[in-house]
Amino acid sequence: MNLHIHAVNFKASDQLEEVIDEKVKKLVKHFDKIIDVDVYLKLENHQQIKDKIVELKVHVPGDVLFASEIAKTFEEALSEVVVAMKKQLGKHKEKYAK
C-alpha cells in the first residue's frame, strides 16, 4: 500500500503525518488489497469551530473509495474518516468476495 499525504496550502507537521500513517495502515486489516491511499488535509473558513477537513481516497482493485470528514482538529477528523472508510471497505470486501 502506498500512502500519499497532501496538505493543501500549508505544511503538515511530522507528528501529524505519523498519526496519519499509523491510522491509515490499520485499514489494511479490513481489506488487504488496498493499492494506494491519498490523504488530503484542508483548512476551511478559519472563523468556524470545525474547520479541519480530512479526505481519504482509497484505491482498491476495480474501484476508488472516498470519504470526507470535518472536525475541530485534524486528528479528530482523521479518526472519523477512518471509521467511515472501514465501513466502505467492509462493503467492498463483501462485493469483491462474490
What are the residue ranges spanned by the domains of the chain?
Answer: 2-97
Q: From 61, 56, 62, select the one nearest 87 (Cα to Cα).
A: 56
Whole-number percent of the chain with pLDDT over 90:
70
Where does residue 1 rank: exposed (0-12), middle (13-18), buried (19+ CB within 10 A)? middle
Q: Which fold, 2-97?
A: Double Stranded RNA Binding Domain (3.30.160)
Question: Which tens digit of pLDDT belongs to each residue from 13-52?
Answer: 999 999 999 999 999 988 889 999 999 999 987 667 778 9
- Collapsing DSSP to helix, strand or coil, 73 comes out as coil
Using CA atoms, how far residue 40 sits from 3, 52, 55, 87, 98, in Å, is 11, 11, 5, 19, 31
Question: Which three-class secondary structure state does DSSP give residue 69?
Answer: strand
- Percent of the chain at pLDDT exceeding 70: 96
